[in-house]
Amino acid sequence: MSPEPTGSPQQISAAIQEISDRAQVLVREEIELAKAEVTAKAQKLAKGAAIGAAAAIFAIFGLSILLNGFAWLAWWALPAGGTQFFWGFFLVAGLLFIVGGIAGWLASKLFKAGAPPTPDLAIEEAQKIKETVSG
């Protein structure tokens, strides 16, 4: 048998099939890359949240003791005197409400400015592949 001439329908069909197979492999690899990126970012966020929660627990207990001390100090320093120690607690509570309001406002601004995790590398690779195939 003689070899088929270059550009025969069988060779063109085989080349198209090979291109299709390679494109499918590239798409699957890009999807896997995107999944891996999002998973890695989500794991980092989860670890950070867990450590942040532990830190918050310790900070809350320490803060409660500190604020109790400030309330007694405020009662001692205020001219109310006598047994009206509640004025020290009211003063500290008012300051806490002001600081909490400012912190809540800042947190809302930061949350609005934040972006959800995106698979940046996978998107960049997909764009390169698209440019290569288009060109």
Residue 4 lies in a domain: no
Give Cα separations from 14 to 8, 22, 30, 67 (angstroms). 10, 12, 24, 77
Domain around 42: 9-134
For the chain, the domain total comes to: 1
Query: Residue 54 is which amino acid?
Result: A
Residue 69 lies in a domain: yes
Residue 16 lies in a domain: yes
Residue 2 lies in a domain: no
Q: What is the pLDDT of residue 55?
A: 92
Residue 1 lies in a domain: no
With a cut of 70, list the residues of the chain below it in pLDDT: 1-6, 81, 114-115, 117
Query: Residue 104 is which amino acid?
Result: G
Residue 3 lies in a domain: no
Predicted TM-score (pTM) of the model is 0.43
Q: How many CB atoms lie within 10 A of CB 71?
A: 19
CB distance 122 to 33 below 8 Å: yes
Q: How far apart are the C-alpha atoms of 59 and 57, rounded to whole Å?
A: 5
